[in-house]
């Protein structure tokens, strides 16, 4: 975003929210559930832990909040000292990522502006007793100077287990093309100490791609592992991009697609005019929505209070369709495919940069009870996965895993059995959000790579009796 263009647009949107914003209208079958409205203070990003706890960053306060068992916990998971710069600034606590190997190392990474306001850093915290402790700054001093705007902050782990970070140009566009600067880049770093990994395109450098202006979202394609990004331009053009190794995305020389094409830079997948200011982004990974939504790419339109759905071709290099999925309750900041098989949202109807509301989209086709198996932070091999069973509060769930699925369902008095009980998991009680979560570690055995892991469960329900869930499948990637 850019002052004053974006500040004017933000103020305009704040008025529109109060007077002109249309009612929400998601596609038929979808329901938007408001989970938290008000207590969040300028929230910007989310990440799930293996046990189902949702961590939410508050930009202005520097607090990491916890949503668990259907409620926002009063005490923060952690607090870091930040400079927030004011209501519409882009400084503060901006990004979060849970380590794929969380169940072994308990690590969570934060991107934030230090209290002096002089620089952005990435710190590693440890989850101990339900709280984040032992904050350790891992980035070199002054590697990422900060400005009031254009700080970036999105972070995502790839299938390679490496951490990708989007940075802004800190209001100095020359930084974006300077390969000695970390600003205006996508960085790739090796956890747990964020060292430079082998295979980066510029020897000894964390830079993965460059020529970026102001990034707000990074996400990984569920099938290909490709990296995708949202980027704000000036008053002229906003972009969504597929990020490739060593790619130059043109800023400040180019903005949007070039005609004729510049062979030295990479054109965006889509250019938007007027500028919607795309922010949070994710791919839908769940199994509880209609099959046509699997791998749909979702992008928040900050200026227009919308959630946009994009469809890619099989190569992942072309957007073949897009439409407005829904008009949001306010400006959108974060969107995340959750381990319960639904889409989670951060929005704000009160103005300012950061959300005050947490919501979720569910679909009527989801069976009850239901099961969902997902990876933590994309990598699966040698990493952490989450089992989620939905039922009703007080129900008891027992799940099991197998590397095979039966060729045809076996009819039982409890429902269709699809997954053999090769590994039975401990029973769990379904709590306040009608969901129970269980985190598991996957062995780091290369023979598992590319295999499919299957899950099914049996729920003991006070109202339905004994009921089998749907089967769920997760491809082991790493």
Output the pLDDT for position 295: 96
Confidence class for position 22, pLDDT limits 50, 70, 90: low
Q: How far apart are CA 248 and CA 459, in angstroms?
A: 52
Q: Which ranges of 57-182 would DSSP assign to H, the alpha helix?
A: 102-105
Average pLDDT over residues 266-276: 94
pLDDT per position as a tens digit, 190-243: 999 999 999 999 999 999 999 999 999 999 999 999 999 999 998 789 999 999
Q: How far apart are CA 150 and CA 441, in angstroms?
A: 37
Greater confidence, 406 or 86? 406
Is the pLDDT confidence value at 372 over 60? yes
Residue 18: CB atoms within 10 Å: 12
Average pLDDT over residues 44-64: 98
Contacts of 44 (CB under 8 A, 6+ apart): 57, 58, 59, 92, 93, 94, 95, 153, 333, 334, 346, 353, 354, 355
In total, the chain counts a number of residues equal to: 478
Is the pLDDT confidence value at 21 over 90? no
Is the pLDDT confidence value at 10 over 50? no
pLDDT per position as a tens digit, 142-199: 999 999 999 999 999 999 999 999 999 999 999 999 999 999 999 999 999 999 999 9
Confidence class for position 14, pLDDT limits 50, 70, 90: very low
DSSP three-state, residue 104: helix
Output the pLDDT for position 350: 79
Output the pLDDT for position 60: 96
Class of domain 370-475: mainly beta
Average pLDDT over residues 446-456: 97
Buried-state track 192-225, b at ≥16 Cβ within 10 A, e below 16 = eebebbeebeeeebbbbbbbbbbbbbbbbbbeee
pLDDT per position as a tens digit, 109-125: 999 999 999 999 999 99
CA dist 145 → 140, 173, 273, 303 (Å): 11, 13, 30, 27
What does the block give as tokens for 385?
């996965």
Residue boundaries of the structural domains of the chain = 5-363, 370-475
| pTM for this entry | 0.94
CA dist 109 → 62, 97, 100, 269 (Å): 13, 5, 11, 29
Q: How deeply is 135 buried, as exposed, middle or buried, from its count of CB atoms within 10 A (0-12, 13-18, 19+)?
A: middle
Please give the CATH topology (third level) of the domain spanning 5-363: Neuraminidase (2.120.10)
Question: What is the overall mean pLDDT for the chain?
Answer: 93
Output the pLDDT for position 390: 97
Torsion from C-alpha of 41, 42, 45, 47, nearest 10 degrees? 0
Q: Which ranges of 111-167 would DSSP assign to H, the alpha helix?
A: none
Output the pLDDT for position 162: 98
Q: Give the least confident one: 9-13, 37-41, 219-223.
A: 9-13
Output the pLDDT for position 349: 83
DSSP three-state, residue 30: strand
Is the pLDDT confidence value at 19 over 70? no
Is the pLDDT confidence value at 18 over 50? no
Average pLDDT over residues 290-314: 96
Confidence class for position 5, pLDDT limits 50, 70, 90: very low
Q: Angle CA(386)–CA(389)–CA(392) in degrees, nearest 5?
A: 145
Q: Give the least confident one: 3-12, 320-329, 428-437, 453-462.
A: 3-12
Q: Tell which residue, 387, 390, 354, 348, has the closest CA to residue 370.
A: 390
Percent of the chain with pLDDT over 70: 95
**121, 112 in Cβ contact below 8 A?**
yes
Is the pLDDT confidence value at 17 over 50? no
What does the block give as tokens for 331?
């400006």
């Amino acid at each position: 975003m850019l002052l004053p263009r974006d500040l004017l647009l933000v103020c305009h949107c704040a008025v529109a929210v109060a007077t002109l914003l249309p009612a929400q209208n998601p596609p038929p079958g979808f329901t938007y559930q408001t989970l938290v409205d008000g207590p969040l203070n300028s929230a910007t990003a989310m990440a799930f832990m293996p046990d189902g706890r949702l961590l939410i960053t508050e930009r202005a306060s520097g607090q990491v909040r916890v949503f668990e068992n259907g409620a926002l916990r009063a005490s923060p998971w952690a607090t870091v000292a930040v400079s927030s710069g004011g209501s519409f600034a882009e400084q503060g606590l901006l990004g979060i990522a849970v380590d794929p190997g969380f169940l072994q190392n308990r690590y969570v990474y934060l991107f934030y502006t230090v209290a002096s306001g002089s620089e952005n850093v990435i710190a590693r915290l440890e989850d101990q007793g339900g709280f984040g402790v032992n904050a350790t700054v891992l980035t070199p001093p002054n590697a990422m100077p900060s400005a009031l705007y254009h700080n970036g902050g999105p972070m995502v782990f790839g299938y390679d287990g490496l951490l990708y970070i989007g940075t802004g140009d800190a209001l100095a566009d020359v930084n974006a093309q300077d390969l000695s600067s970390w600003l205006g880049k996508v960085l790739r770093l090796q956890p747990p100490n964020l060292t430079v990994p082998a295979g980066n395109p510029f020897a000894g450098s964390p830079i993965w791609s460059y020529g970026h202006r102001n990034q707000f979202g990074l996400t990984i394609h569920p099938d290909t592992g490709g990296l995708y990004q949202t980027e704000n331009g000036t008053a002229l053009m906003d972009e969504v991009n597929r990020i490739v190794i060593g790619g130059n995305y043109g800023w400040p020389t180019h903005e949007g697609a070039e005609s004729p094409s510049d062979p030295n830079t990479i054109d965006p997948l889509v250019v938007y005019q007027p500028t919607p200011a795309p922010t949070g982004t994710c791919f839908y990974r769940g199994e509880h929505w209609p099959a046509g939504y699997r791998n749909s790419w979702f992008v928040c339109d900050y200026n227009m209070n919308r959630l946009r759905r994009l469809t890619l071709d099989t190569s992942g290099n072309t957007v073949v369709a897009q439409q407005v999925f829904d008009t949001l309750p306010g400006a959108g900041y974060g969107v995340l495919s959750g381990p319960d098989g639904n889409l989670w949202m951060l929005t704000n109807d009160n103005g300012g940069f950061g959300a005050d509301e947490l919501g979720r989209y569910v679909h009527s086709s989801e069976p009850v009870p239901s099961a969902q198996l997902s990876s933590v932070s994309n990598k699966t091999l040698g990493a952490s996965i989450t089992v989620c069973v939905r039922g009703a509060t007080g129900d008891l769930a027992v799940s099991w895993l197998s590397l095979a699925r039966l060729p045809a369902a076996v009819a039982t008095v409890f429902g269709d059995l699809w997954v053999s009980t090769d590994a039975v998991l401990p029973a769990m009680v379904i709590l306040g959000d009608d969901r129970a979560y269980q985190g598991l570690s996957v062995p780091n055995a290369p023979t598992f790579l590319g295999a499919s892991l299957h899950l099914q469960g049996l729920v003991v329900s006070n109202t339905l009796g004994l009921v089998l869930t749907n089967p769920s499948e997760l491809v082991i990637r790493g």
